[in-house]
Chain A
């Protein structure tokens, strides 16, 4: 290590010097032309994959047989998504940083691994935009966090492309072994949450099953130069020749991004942490495991407050577990948590220091006609999210997404079927354990559209105003850069139309569990195994 780079301690993980790599799009000038609608039209005539989906671009390009056009709500033209880039999490970070040619903007495609060869460790396990949308963080099963930054050059253009480049990569968690309980602790990153920006550096929380860590990601572009005891080449000088003192001077250097662990919040969870959520008071956050929720102060790592504990005295009486928890976006005292029984509890921390008793209880009465062996499993909530406005809560269970109004506890105001065609296949999904998959769900910036994942690399969007929905596919084979995504349709039994996919041919190993939506723009990030797809709303 170069002496003098003071803060570069062993804690600092890999530093990138303008490494922007692993973007797998051939965004050369020629191909960008392809994104012009006129050319697309031409292409679409020959190539069904490039068919334009709906009439927003004009009646001349709305092919018959495609799903009805979605609305043109302001800021929500979700039918016209184009692929911006496919990002692969760099699998060999150290190798990358050792590359001599650090200025290589786009690293050769052959350098990247094809997703079919991806190891388990490369599978993306969480995706999260920061509060401005300038950064996008992913965590993977190998315990790494990769942060992507939005392309800077186009900042002054009227319409910025939503292209993201690698900004920083670091190993957040390592595999551990709990010797007292003889348990292996996986390094898999379960959740990442960004903190509101407080100075020029960025902060994020990352968690595996047991330990939450606070990371600082900061830039450095100056380096001190000049020693008293050494000359420019680093040779020691004879002490006798030192007649004047030199104070080091800071000189500009290549931009370096470094990630440093600032806090480690450990030893507070007996069970697996499934959620972390930052409070709107900016000084606390909570972490939820299967049976308990703890409240932490960002500055204090050696104690946390247990605010919810649903562990029964006798574990045999256990009937439900906490599956997700989140703070209200504006009211620092309110949070919700969901359970495996399909219910949501809202707690008010003002009422009492312990929130074992809920303030509100959201539950939809079960429809007896739909009752089956799998009812309980599929009603388990895998994700809960407050809308940006704080008025609604969205929950995802195995087959549906539901939107609840905070003021109405007895039923959701909206229910969307994500993949109802799977209802007949629950038995085989149970056998291959897919029925326990935990799909997440997200709101768009204006709370008017919701997005969630499905199988076969499909993901779904629902427009809450028009009640239109669309199925899109994030897969490598079917999409080229700047290509417009074609809506997919799954046919249920009977006659299969052209372009439709039969339920039986769905690939259940390709699941989209994690997605993220840019806080203010129509840019989405979709994680499909080790690929991260960035789609952008088609502008112009």
Chain B
């Protein structure tokens, strides 16, 4: 079986007889059809190596025909193949032979899996650029036509993405044909194809001559925008953006705006949603005049749409819309035409709408300035901070920085604190997790005094939360706080509290101490680590719970680089040695792992004699798994033994490699 001989062993075997280039390639080729998907995938990813070894001629005549027929394979293999072929031009003999790559990509462009098709199209587009104009018309355009008139809709959908790359370089006669093909795809029977055509309409319009845009694209666009399937109509909205950019204001008003107005009032909420979702793009495409006359009223309607999804999408766009308004008169427009609708949304019945609004509303304060913010926006912020839905409150809190710049956070702090406390104690741990993540930001905004006074206790309470994810997030939070407030603050407020937990009766809390030390040691530096943290860690090595003990080993490994050599040599090593003989297998394992790191570090610090004499003296160190071996000893035995006793082979592997290297480097 081909899989039996992996490339790794192959390389070694072939190395002996001098013909060291063919064997690995032979393995790769055979593995193109191995039963194991992973090996096939691996081979496909090294397709360029295979092609290089075969040479351009054989790649063209043998490899590509084989690949053309391999479309039975798993998606991930096909995806990799489609991607590889996009960069294959050089391997088949340069641009003159780029057309040889078309057959395999053509068959990949008809498979049912969208990601594979899309990748094949992407590669085809890439290759089209490498064709000469003659080759393009002789090979590429016929391929596009074949796909466009294929029996199955998969091939026709793929064709839609290829028109725009071959059109600019084709002759006029061919151009007319291409346009004809695109037209027929726009009115295809299957909605899949019409959707693909609608999605590519804008892109195709960009490469067309302006006359053709007006005479051909606009009618197609009109048809698609009034398609019976709303799934097609909604894609026409996207095309609208690109087409609008191409037309003059006059044509825009006459040709595109009626359709856009219609789309904004479409019967189907999905189409209206699309208008709301693409609003900023549309706004930029149609320019300030039409925005003022048409889009603002449309936007108002979207903000009070009957479907919550639409309102939420529109609410998301409030800030961008306001930002993109011309600065002159912006304030008036917002105050008169947008703000009244926003006020309504703050008390919307749907929480998604409210939270969408909450995520952007703070951004308005920079646009409206201090006075307006205090007078009009602040009441809204305060209302949202009291909202029943935690997501709304979180979104407000996460954007506090915008307001801070304009009016200062003090205005809000009275309402802020209860909101934060409530979220911090929320029954849902995901909510608590979210607020923890904003803590460093809040701390920065509120300042160290306010923090110490009001929020510090919360941060400490999270460390003993009953959900692990919260405790974990709380530890990381501590590190970020230390980075923000400095070492001194850490030493005074954080470290003592953390270290007290080392005596907690709950072993989970004791472990939290270790996790905190892991992250804090780096932020706090050598002095605090050595003086305050290390003793606690070492003391915990005698813990009765094995989980704590092996976490001690892990912690020691982690903080090792921060400690000085004396501490390592005098304090850490003995403890690790002791743990290395622990009765628990996991403790032993992690202790050995940590030991090897520590020993390596000591070596780097240029203490070779002292270090290696001691453990390598026979019998002196009972920890024989780890003993660095001299060249005369059986270097392989130790690591091999370790492999056997170690339940985590994959984990252990890199460490063993390290050890072997280490013993060799001593020669």
Report which A residues bind B (CB closer than 8 A): 1, 3-9, 196-201, 203, 216, 218, 220, 222, 224, 227-230, 236, 239-240, 242-250, 262, 280-283, 299, 330-333, 349-353
A130, B66: Cα distance in complex, Å = 32
Interface check B606, CB cutoff 8 A: no
Set of chain B residues within 8 Å of A9, measured between Cβ atoms? 35, 37, 74
Set of chain A residues within 8 Å of B90, measured between Cβ atoms? none
Interface check B662, CB cutoff 8 A: no
Set of chain A residues within 8 Å of B73, measured between Cβ atoms? 6-7
Q: Assuming the A-B contacts A248-B32, A350-B270, are A332 and B190 also in contact, with contact meaning beta carbons closer than 8 angstroms in the complex? A: no
Besides the contacts A229-B2, A283-B192, A331-B228, what 9 more A-B pairs have beta carbons closer than 8 Å? A3-B2, A6-B40, A220-B72, A230-B2, A230-B30, A239-B23, A281-B231, A282-B153, A332-B229
A350, B112: Cα distance in complex, Å = 28
A262, B111: Cα distance in complex, Å = 13
Set of chain B residues within 8 Å of A216, measured between Cβ atoms? 112
Set of chain B residues within 8 Å of A199, measured between Cβ atoms? 110-112, 152, 154-155
Cβ of B22 and Cβ of A282 under 8 Å apart?
Answer: no
Q: Mark B388-430, 1 if CB is under 8 A from A, else 0.
A: 0000000000000000000000000000000000000000000
Cβ of A3 and Cβ of B34 under 8 Å apart?
Answer: yes
Interface check B126, CB cutoff 8 A: no
Cβ of B112 and Cβ of A198 under 8 Å apart?
Answer: yes
Q: Which of B34, B77, B228, B231 has the most CB of A within 10 A?
A: B231
Report which B residues bind A (CB closer than 8 A): 1-3, 5, 10, 13-14, 17, 19, 22-23, 25-27, 29-30, 32-35, 37, 40, 53-54, 58, 62-63, 65-66, 69-70, 72-74, 77, 110-112, 114, 152-155, 190-192, 195, 228-231, 266-270, 306-309
Q: Assuming the A-B contacts A4-B33, A198-B112, A240-B19, are A247 and B153 also in contact, with contact meaning beta carbons closer than 8 angstroms in the complex? A: no
Chain A interface SS verdict (over half):
loop
Look across to chain A and name the residue whose beta carbon is closest to the beta carbon of B111: A199
Cβ of B269 and Cβ of A352 under 8 Å apart?
Answer: yes
Set of chain B residues within 8 Å of A352, measured between Cβ atoms? 269, 306-307
Q: Assuming the A-B contacts A280-B229, A350-B270, are A198 and B153 also in contact, with contact meaning beta carbons closer than 8 angstroms in the complex? A: yes
Look across to chain A and name the residue whose beta carbon is closest to the beta carbon of B4: A236
Set of chain A residues within 8 Å of B65, measured between Cβ atoms? 250
A247, B22: Cα distance in complex, Å = 13
Find A227's partner among B2, B23, B309 (CB 8 Å cutoff): B2
Cβ of A7 and Cβ of B74 under 8 Å apart?
Answer: yes
Q: Which of A7, A196, A201, A218 has the most CB of B within 10 A?
A: A7
Cβ of A197 and Cβ of B269 under 8 Å apart?
Answer: no
Cβ of B25 and Cβ of A229 under 8 Å apart?
Answer: no
With both chains docked as a complex, state the minimum distance between the C-beta of A261 and any C-beta of chain B, in angstroms.
12
Q: Which of A1, A196, A222, A242 has the most CB of B within 10 A?
A: A242
Set of chain A residues within 8 Å of B154, measured between Cβ atoms? 198-199
Cβ of A240 and Cβ of B17 under 8 Å apart?
Answer: yes
Cβ of A280 and Cβ of B33 under 8 Å apart?
Answer: no
Look across to chain B and name the residue whose beta carbon is closest to the beta carbon of A331: B228
Q: Assuming the A-B contacts A281-B231, A282-B190, A332-B231, are A7 and B26 also in contact, with contact meaning beta carbons closer than 8 angstroms in the complex? A: no
8 closest cross-chain pairs (CB), A and B? A350-B268, A228-B26, A247-B62, A4-B33, A7-B72, A199-B152, A281-B231, A240-B17
Cβ of B2 and Cβ of A350 under 8 Å apart?
Answer: no
Cβ of A196 and Cβ of B307 under 8 Å apart?
Answer: no
Look across to chain B and name the residue whose beta carbon is closest to the beta carbon of A256: B72
Set of chain A residues within 8 Å of B269, measured between Cβ atoms? 350-353
Cβ of A229 and Cβ of B35 under 8 Å apart?
Answer: no
Set of chain B residues within 8 Å of A250, measured between Cβ atoms? 65-66, 69
Cβ of B29 and Cβ of A224 under 8 Å apart?
Answer: no
Find A242's partner among B19, B191, B308 (CB 8 Å cutoff): B19
Q: Assuming the A-B contacts A203-B112, A332-B230, are A247 and B66 also in contact, with contact meaning beta carbons closer than 8 angstroms in the complex? A: yes
How many contacts between A and B, using CB within 8 angstroms?
149
Cβ of B231 and Cβ of A1 under 8 Å apart?
Answer: no
Set of chain B residues within 8 Å of A247, measured between Cβ atoms? 29, 54, 58, 62-63, 66
Cβ of A6 and Cβ of B35 under 8 Å apart?
Answer: yes
Q: Which of A201, A245, A250 has the most CB of B within 10 A?
A: A245
A15, B69: Cα distance in complex, Å = 20
Look across to chain B and name the residue whose beta carbon is closest to the beta carbon of A195: B112
With both chains docked as a complex, state the minimum distance between the C-beta of A254 and any C-beta of chain B, in angstroms.
15
A224, B68: Cα distance in complex, Å = 12
Could you pull out 27 A-B pairs where Cβ atoms are within 8 angstroms?
A: A3-B1, A5-B35, A6-B73, A7-B73, A9-B37, A197-B152, A199-B155, A222-B69, A224-B33, A224-B66, A230-B2, A239-B10, A240-B17, A242-B23, A245-B25, A245-B53, A246-B29, A247-B63, A250-B66, A250-B69, A280-B229, A281-B231, A283-B195, A331-B228, A331-B229, A333-B268, A352-B306
A250, B67: Cα distance in complex, Å = 10
A5, B69: Cα distance in complex, Å = 13
Find A248's partner among B33, B195, B306 (CB 8 Å cutoff): B33
Cβ of B72 and Cβ of A6 under 8 Å apart?
Answer: yes
Look across to chain B and name the residue whose beta carbon is closest to the beta carbon of A229: B30
A485, B29: Cα distance in complex, Å = 60
Look across to chain A and name the residue whose beta carbon is closest to the beta carbon of B63: A247
Set of chain A residues within 8 Å of B62, measured between Cβ atoms? 247, 249
Set of chain A residues within 8 Å of B27, measured between Cβ atoms? 228-229
A368, B272: Cα distance in complex, Å = 47
Find B230's partner among A5, A228, A333 (CB 8 Å cutoff): A333
Cβ of B5 and Cβ of A229 under 8 Å apart?
Answer: yes
Set of chain B residues within 8 Å of A242, measured between Cβ atoms? 19, 22-23, 26
Cβ of B35 and Cβ of A282 under 8 Å apart?
Answer: no
With both chains docked as a complex, state the minimum distance between the C-beta of A513 and any C-beta of chain B, in angstroms.
32
Cβ of A239 and Cβ of B152 under 8 Å apart?
Answer: no
With both chains docked as a complex, state the minimum distance between the C-beta of A230 and any C-beta of chain B, in angstroms.
7
A280, B192: Cα distance in complex, Å = 10
Q: Which of A200, A218, A246 has the most CB of B within 10 A?
A: A200
With both chains docked as a complex, state the minimum distance between the C-beta of A467 and any C-beta of chain B, in angstroms.
34
Q: Assuming the A-B contacts A229-B2, A282-B190, are A1 and B35 also in contact, with contact meaning beta carbons closer than 8 angstroms in the complex? A: yes
With both chains docked as a complex, state the minimum distance between the C-beta of B105 and any C-beta of chain A, in angstroms.
15
Set of chain B residues within 8 Å of A197, measured between Cβ atoms? 152
Set of chain A residues within 8 Å of B37, measured between Cβ atoms? 9
A200, B74: Cα distance in complex, Å = 16
Cβ of B110 and Cβ of A282 under 8 Å apart?
Answer: no
A242, B25: Cα distance in complex, Å = 11
Set of chain B residues within 8 Å of A332, measured between Cβ atoms? 191, 229-231
Look across to chain B and name the residue whose beta carbon is closest to the beta carbon of A200: B152
A4, B155: Cα distance in complex, Å = 28
Set of chain A residues within 8 Å of B309, measured between Cβ atoms? 353
Find A6's partner among B14, B70, B306 (CB 8 Å cutoff): B70
A349, B58: Cα distance in complex, Å = 55
Cβ of A239 and Cβ of B66 under 8 Å apart?
Answer: no
With both chains docked as a complex, state the minimum distance between the C-beta of B266 and any C-beta of chain A, in angstroms.
8
With both chains docked as a complex, state the minimum distance between the C-beta of B28 and any C-beta of chain A, in angstroms.
9
Cβ of A8 and Cβ of B268 under 8 Å apart?
Answer: no
Set of chain B residues within 8 Å of A351, measured between Cβ atoms? 267, 269, 307
A399, B32: Cα distance in complex, Å = 60
Cβ of A245 and Cβ of B29 under 8 Å apart?
Answer: yes
Q: Assuming the A-B contacts A239-B17, A353-B308, A353-B309, are A282 and B34 also in contact, with contact meaning beta carbons closer than 8 angstroms in the complex? A: no
With both chains docked as a complex, state the minimum distance between the C-beta of B528 and any C-beta of chain A, in angstroms.
46
A350, B307: Cα distance in complex, Å = 10
Find B114's partner among A240, A248, A280, A299 (CB 8 Å cutoff): A299
With both chains docked as a complex, state the minimum distance between the C-beta of B275 and any C-beta of chain A, in angstroms.
14
A4, B25: Cα distance in complex, Å = 17
Q: Which of B14, B40, B72, B308 has the most CB of A within 10 A?
A: B72
Set of chain B residues within 8 Å of A282, measured between Cβ atoms? 153, 190-192
A298, B37: Cα distance in complex, Å = 23
A243, B22: Cα distance in complex, Å = 7
Set of chain B residues within 8 Å of A6, measured between Cβ atoms? 32-35, 40, 70, 72-73, 77
A73, B650: Cα distance in complex, Å = 73
Set of chain B residues within 8 Å of A353, measured between Cβ atoms? 269, 307-309
Set of chain A residues within 8 Å of B22, measured between Cβ atoms? 242-245
Set of chain A residues within 8 Å of B74, measured between Cβ atoms? 7, 9
